[in-house]
Amino acid sequence: MNHVMQLADQEKENLNLVEQNRALADSLADELKKLLSHSSSSSSKKPTPTATLDLDETCAQEELHRQLMEETGAQEELRRQLTKERAEHREDVEALQQVTLLITPLHLRVLLEKARQKILNHIKCDTWEDLRQDKSIYNLTDHVYTHLADTEHPLSRGAVQFLCSYNNRGAQS
């Protein structure tokens, strides 16, 4: 029976400790609420690890800047390479045009020139070179095709592309 009494006493002590722990937890929660309400009412911000955030942001910005510089360098290199390739191929294109002029029958060249002259008159442009300027064959074809779309007998896109192609360029009007 002595043993039962000891167990009962320990049980009472445990219940008292549980109540004390609950009271302590409640008081800590109340203190925390007071601190939080005080800090928000005094408009002070919660402390944040700004040094870590600033360091992370700085590292991210540096990485983005490095990537941007690499991309910019790559773009510049591609532009230089494209300019070089255009210069190298310009002679080839001109040689092809000369060969085309030599092997194209005279009557076909005359027909091409007359068709181009009609296009120039309709678009109100002085020379074929002025019309071409720096346009690619596709841009020139679209430009001419758009202007000729409202004519009485519009040409097909293929015919316009043939007339606009650089290889079929005749004497410069």
Q: Distance between CA 99 and CA 103 in Å, rounded? A: 6
What pTM was computed for the model?
0.41
Where do runs of H (alpha helix) occur along 1-127? 2-41, 50-103, 106-123
Provide the phi-psi class of 117: left if phi over 0, else alpha when psi is between -120 and 50, else beta. Answer: alpha
Q: What is the mean pLDDT of residues 44-51?
A: 53
Q: Distance between CA 97 and CA 88 in Å, rounded? A: 15
Q: What is the pLDDT of residues 104-149, one digit of tens each?
A: 788 888 888 899 999 999 999 999 888 888 888 889 999 999 999 9
Q: Distance between CA 154 and CA 145 in Å, rounded? A: 8
Reported as a pLDDT band with limits 50, 70 and 90, residue 170 is: very low
Number of Cβ within 10 Å of residue 166's Cβ equals 14
| Most distant CA pair in the chain, distance | 132
